Structure 1
Amino acid sequence: MRNNGDVPSGTLQVLPVIKKFEEEAKLLILDGLLERFGFIDHSLNPDLDEIMIHFNKEGNIFLIALVNKELVATGALTKESERVGRIERMSVKRQYRRQGVGKRMLQAIESYARSLDYTKLVLETNNNWESALHFYSFNGYRSYLNDGQRTHFEKSISERGV
């Protein structure tokens, strides 16, 4: 890692999950949930038991980010409707946060969504996760609903380069 807080772009690789990293991806996400909530309700996470199967559907993808062959982040895209994708399972290993890893993962998801002709992406995050709220707002996502517990975001991606 460099002193300026960014992982050098040549060392970060974002790619679709492979079987070798499936369990490690699950644990990274669960560690993040434990950190945020203080407990894990496994009944709310059945998709993590079969990542390769659950996210291997048309319009879906589960991505991982590696730095020197170490899994450092996850992110998924699922099909919400014909032209809308949903971002899910964004998680960055604690020691790699604030180094551009999450942004690179988000850009990879957006790029994949464009290749599927999605015109909009949506997501939701908990209201007390201030870093996540700031991250999505900073990256062009607009809050369109706050249900008291979660903020729902959207971003138009219909134009190339947006």
Structure 2
Amino acid sequence: MAEYKSGQNVFNKTGERLWGVYGEQNELIAVAALNQDPYSKCANVGRVRRFYVSAQFRRKGIGKRLLKEIIHYAENYYDSLVLYTDTEEAKLFYERTGFKRVYNQYKITHEYSLKSV
């Protein structure tokens, strides 16, 4: 997380946060971040960033649980969440978790509405 180390992005604005998940040996096994979205045309949009689960810990529910925590936290600050991914595996993961695919949006491939209809 070069942006964090350099101070360019320290996740300290309202509604921002950085998560780390540690394993039994106190090793970092997953990370994720939430920022105010700088690309959205709408206000109150959060961006899921730097979502990563170590390969050996995938398909164990860690990513799903972490994403649910992000969504729960974001409900207090945002109307929707967006993200950008370019891998098929990640696209399927997000879609299974309720994110909808978005087309023709700059730096956005998926969106999740936090507003109840």
Match of 2:93 in 1: 135
Unaligned runs of 5+ in 2: none
User: 1:86 and 1:140 mapped to 2: Cα distance?
Assistant: 15
Instruction: Give the conservation status (yes or no) of the 8 Å contact 2:32–2:51.
Output: yes
Root-mean-square deviation (CA, aligned residues, Å) is 2.2
Instruction: Indicate the SS of the match to 1:58.
Output: coil
Q: Does 1:90 align with 2:48?
A: no
Match of 1:125 in 2: 85
Unaligned runs of 5+ in 1: 1-25, 27-45
Instruction: Indicate the SS of the match to 1:125.
Output: coil
Structure 1 segments of 4+ aligned residues over 6 angstroms from their partners: none
Higher gyration radius (CA): 1
User: 1:145 and 1:131 mapped to 2: Cα distance?
Assistant: 18
* Higher relative helix content: 1
TM-score, scaled to structure 2 = 0.82
Cα gap change, 1:47/1:154 in structure 2, threshold over 3 Å: closer, same or farther?
Answer: same
Deviations 1:13-63 (A, max 9, x none): xxxxxxxxxxxxx4xxxxxxxxxxxxxxxxxxx414247962122221011
Aligned residues: 110
* Percent sequence identity over aligned pairs: 35
